[in-house]
Amino acid sequence: MGSYGTGAKWFHWVTVVLLAVAMPVGFVIQFLKDDAKTVFYAIHESAGLTILLVALARLAWRLRHPPPPLPDHVPLLLQRVAAGVHHTLYVLLILQPILGFVATNAWGFPMRGDTAYLGLIELPKFMETNEALAGAVQTAHNWVAFALLALLVLHIGGVIFHQAIRRDGTLLRMV
């Protein structure tokens, strides 16, 4: 059974770590007191923008280094589901940070000062405050977060299914 290369594995696990930071922080921000939110926004936004950069680099890598084919013993339906989940994950990993970045700017809080990228890099403000647009984009950002979470559950469920039930070694392709 073919294994993913070192580069693909690196991109995968860096993405996992970044999502493990960005998603929980993003889900709890709304429940924090205003004076505690800034540090959480800084972490969430920096992790999100890094996810975008890593996802784009990962996609470029994948175009030049195609993944190994799934083994013949994996049924065609499972192969198609896996491909669909993976492709949709790529789309959402790129779309989600863009929506967040637009929403942040539309709310009037570009990544500057206390929320500069990685605490160091101030990004240019590219629009004036527009609360109507901000609300719409924020809603889309929230829905994509739940879609991303659902896909991650499917992905992890697929890993568990292959490892614990089918026992076909699929997990070993990425570790």
CATH for 133: 1.20.950.20
Instruction: Tell me the per-residue pLDDT of 56-93, one tens digit each, with 9 for 90 and over.
Output: 999 999 999 999 888 888 889 998 999 999 999 999 99
Find the range with the poorest average confidence among 36-45, 103-112, 127-136, 158-167.
158-167
Q: Is residue 103 included in any domain, yes or no?
A: yes
6 — pLDDT class (breaks 50, 70, 90):
very high
Q: Is residue 140 included in any domain, yes or no?
A: yes
Q: Is residue 160 included in any domain, yes or no?
A: yes
147 — pLDDT class (breaks 50, 70, 90):
very high
Q: What is the pLDDT of residue 1?
A: 61
Q: Is residue 61 included in any domain, yes or no?
A: yes
Q: What is the dihedral of CA 26, 174, 166, 164, to 10 degrees?
A: -60
66 versus 170: which is more confidently predicted?
A: 66
Q: What is the pLDDT of residue 66?
A: 92
Q: Does 169 have pLDDT greater than 80? A: no
Instruction: Return the DSSP state at 165.
Output: I
Instruction: Tell me the per-residue pLDDT of 103-112, one tens digit each, with 9 for 90 and over.
Output: 999 999 999 9
Q: Is residue 48 included in any domain, yes or no?
A: yes
Q: Is residue 19 included in any domain, yes or no?
A: yes
Q: Is residue 1 included in any domain, yes or no?
A: no
Q: Does 140 have pLDDT greater than 70? A: yes
Q: Give the integer Cα–Cα distance in Å for 49 and 120.
A: 13
* C-alpha distance from residue 32 to each of 19, 25, 37, 49, 136 (Å): 20, 10, 6, 22, 22
Domain holding 124, by residue range, is: 6-173
Q: Give the integer Cα–Cα distance in Å for 72 and 86.
A: 19
Q: Is residue 119 included in any domain, yes or no?
A: yes
Mean predicted confidence (pLDDT) in 21-46: 94
Question: Is 0.85 surpassed by the pTM of this model?
Answer: yes
Domains of the chain: total: 1
| CA nearest to 46, candidates 34, 58, 54 | 54
